Amino acid sequence: PSPRALPPLSPRSLPSSPAPSARTPLRAPTRPPADMASGVTVNDEVIKVFNDMKVRKSSSSEEVKKRKKAVLFCLSEDKKKIIVEEGKEILVGDIGETVEDPYASFVKLLPLNDCRYGLYDATYETRESKKEDLVFIFWAPESAPLKSKMIYASSKDAIKKKFTGIKHEWQVNGLDDIQDRSTLADKLGGSVVVSLEGRPL
């Protein structure tokens, strides 16, 4: 008898055609462009403030008093530029005069219902030495409008790129995260930090 013909391949052994197309939509969404924030520019005054805070020149006591201890930056009204927010600063010369506790005063500068960027020049002590470090703060409270949170978040890289050499970045989502100074101490060096702004932790 002639050998029996092999049965045709069953449909199960062939890859079913819908599978590849079923996977396709997973690849479809594209990532948002990296230059989403390219519409937002950083005002020259912001860069000047940063450089003045970063470079600790040997200055006269009068010049030291004019140095900024802390400052806030906001988006301009047209949302096109990051600018220095008027009146939202603490000068080194204010400490001991109009400002008793620079850290608590800085927290009070933050708006409860909107986002901001900030620079804080932290003075702290470890068990070995006294130090000063600039901290870049992105303030994005839960109560801020969603649109504001989105534009501040997408523009953060634009300002951060201008702040070269910043070692500490801190995103804060509400007063609970920032009121306790030990949270900042953790950012600066954890348990090795024993005091912040002259106050023991």
What does the pLDDT look like over 150-170, one tens digit per residue?
A: 999 999 999 999 999 999 999
Is residue 32 pLDDT above 50, yes or no? no
- Which amino acid, residue 154? S
pLDDT for residue 24: 47
Beta-strand relationship, 193-196 and 81-91: unpaired
Instruction: Yes or no: say if 43 and 84 are a contact pair by the CB < 8 Å rule.
Output: yes
DSSP 106-121: HHHHS-TTS-EEEEEE
**Helices 146-162, 44-54: inter-axial angle, 10-degree rounding:** 60
Report the topology of domain 41-200.
Severin (3.40.20)
Instruction: Yes or no: say if 82 and 40 are a contact pair by the CB < 8 Å rule.
Output: yes
Which of the two residues, 181 and 57, has the higher pLDDT score?
181
As given in the structure block, the two tokens for residue 59 are 């200055």
pLDDT for residue 144: 97
Instruction: Yes or no: say if 95 and 69 are a contact pair by the CB < 8 Å rule.
Output: yes
Is residue 129 pLDDT above 70, yes or no? yes
The DSSP call for residue 39 is G
The DSSP call for residue 165 is T
Residues 70-117: pLDDT tens digits?
999 999 999 999 999 999 999 999 999 999 999 999 999 999 999 999
pLDDT for residue 55: 83
As given in the structure block, the two tokens for residue 128 are 């070995």
Residues 34-81: pLDDT tens digits?
444 458 999 999 999 999 999 877 678 888 889 999 999 999 999 999
